[in-house]
Amino acid sequence: MKACVIGGGLAGSEAAYQLAKRGVSVTLYEMRPVVATPVHRGGGLAELVCSNSLKSVDVNTAQGTLKEEMRLLDSLTLRAAYIARVPAGNALAVDRERFSAEIEKALDATGMVTVVREEVTRIPDDAIVATGPLTSEKLAVEIEKVCGGQRLYFYDAAAPIVTGASIDRGKVFFAARYGKGDADYLNCPMTKEEYLAFREALVAARRVILKDFEKGELFENCMPVEEMARRGADALRFGPLRPVGIRGADGEKYHAVVQLRKEDDYDGLYNLVGFQTNLVFPEQERVFRMIPGLENAEFVRYGVMHRNTFLHSPGFLNADFSVRGRERLFFAGQITGVEGYLESAASGLIAGINLYERLTGGSTHVLPETTMCGSLQKYVSEYRGDFQPMHVSFALTPPQENRIKDKALRKKAYSERALSDLTKYIENIKGVSI
Alpha carbon 292 to its chain's center: 27
Q: Label the pairing between strands 269-272 and 161-163.
A: antiparallel
Measured CA to CA, the distance from residue 136 to residue 35 in angstroms comes to 9
Report the residue number, 37 or 75, with the smaller CB distance to ligand FAD: 37
Tell the burial category of 234 from Cβ atoms under 10 Å away from its Cβ (0-12, 13-18, 19+).
middle
Least Cα distance to 130 among 26, 22, 1 occurs for 26
Minimum gap (Å) between residue 228 Cβ and ligand FAD: 24
Of the chain, the end-to-end C-alpha distance in Å amounts to 26
Minimum gap (Å) between residue 277 Cβ and ligand FAD: 16
Report the residue number, 163 or 347, with the smaller CB distance to ligand FAD: 347
Report the residue number, 214 or 227, with the smaller CB distance to ligand FAD: 214
Minimum gap (Å) between residue 361 Cβ and ligand FAD: 28
Report the residue number, 67 or 417, with the smaller CB distance to ligand FAD: 67
Report the residue number, 31 or 228, with the smaller CB distance to ligand FAD: 31
Minimum gap (Å) between residue 133 Cβ and ligand FAD: 4
Measured CA to CA, the distance from residue 426 to residue 432 in angstroms comes to 7
For residue 71, the surrounding DSSP H or E stretch is: helix 62-72
Residues in the chain: 434
Minimum gap (Å) between residue 194 Cβ and ligand FAD: 33
Rg (alpha carbons) of the chain, rounded to whole number? 22
Minimum gap (Å) between residue 172 Cβ and ligand FAD: 30
Minimum gap (Å) between residue 376 Cβ and ligand FAD: 13
Q: What are phi and psi of 55, to 5 degrees?
A: 70, -170
Which residues sit at the interface with ligand FAD, rule CB under 6 A? 6-12, 29-32, 37, 39-40, 49-51, 119-120, 130-136, 139, 306, 308, 333-335, 339-341, 344
Report the residue number, 49 or 426, with the smaller CB distance to ligand FAD: 49
Report the residue number, 209 or 249, with the smaller CB distance to ligand FAD: 209
Minimum gap (Å) between residue 352 Cβ and ligand FAD: 12
Minimum gap (Å) between residue 53 Cβ and ligand FAD: 7
Report the residue number, 165 or 279, with the smaller CB distance to ligand FAD: 279
Least Cα distance to 151 among 336, 311, 307, 309 occurs for 311
DSSP string of 113-155? EEEE-S---S--SSEEE---TT--HHHHHHHHHHHTSSSEEEE
Region for residue 315 given its phi and psi (left: phi exceeds 0; alpha: psi -120 to 50; beta: otherwise)? left
Report the residue number, 73 or 186, with the smaller CB distance to ligand FAD: 73
In b/e form, how buried is each residue of 350-368, taking b as 16+ CB within 10 angstroms? bbbbbbbbbbeeeebbbbb
